[in-house]
Amino acid sequence: MGKRQKQKFNLRISSVTENLEIIRDFISRIALKGGFDSENADQVALAVDEACTNVIKHAHHHDARRMIDINVFLLNDRIRIDVTDTGKGFDPKNLSEPNLAKYAQEARHGGLGIHLMRSLMDEVHYDFKTGKKNRVSLVKYLNKQNA
């Protein structure tokens, strides 16, 4: 496998759900460029949609003046996407594993999205600095692509 330079792509976009489609297209194209097949590129785009939806709803409260920063890194063996907001963080460590009876309640608080992110990606990391920036990092490896 030949080494390749790390490539970085940035998108800074207004924090509104209307932009989710643009965000998905942006992510999907980069994932394809990085060697993911279309199914896996779609999965990465869905995970980023979930991360951004949580930011728009729970951190920025649909305030269109606030911005989401999306930084994408294409590395030799993986793609990493950092989604950064400037709102109050939501700590997913307080969220338990899926419980069907609690789904309806969790759905209102972004719980389904966090479970999806964990399922679709190989790694999900959170970095909370209350009152400052909160960041979720999503990682997917090329060699773990589902057949």
Partner 1 sequence: MSGFSVSRNDDANISKLYLSGFLDAHTVPKFEEALQSCLNDEQYNIIVNLKDLDYISSAGLGVFMGFIEEIRESGGDIKLTNLSNKVHKVFDLLGFPALFEIYDNENEANQKFTSG
Binding site for partner 1 (CB under 8 A): 16-18, 20-21, 24, 39, 42, 46, 49-50, 53, 56-57, 98, 100, 103-104, 107-108, 110, 112-113, 115-116, 119-120
- Per the CB < 8 A criterion, the answer to whether 102 and 50 are in contact is no
Residue 103, Cβ neighbours under 10 Å: how many?
13
CB of 42 to partner 1, least distance (A): 7
- Kindly tell me which of 23 and 74 has the beta carbon lying closer to partner 1: 23
Nearer residue to partner 1 within complex by CB, 13 or 75: 13
CB of 50 to partner 1, least distance (A): 6
Least CB distance to partner 1 at residue 82 (A): 19
CB of 8 closer than 8 Å to CB of 72:
yes
- Smallest distance from the beta carbon of 44 to partner 1, in angstroms? 13
Cβ-based burial of 85 (10 A; exposed 0-12, middle 13-18, buried ≥19): buried
Q: Which of 98, 135, 109, 123 is nearest to 44 (CA)?
A: 123
Comparison of 39 and 122: residue with beta carbon closer to partner 1: 39
Kindly tell me which of 46 and 72 has the beta carbon lying closer to partner 1: 46
Token pair 């989401």 is at which residue?
68
Neighbours of 51 (CB within 10 A): 29
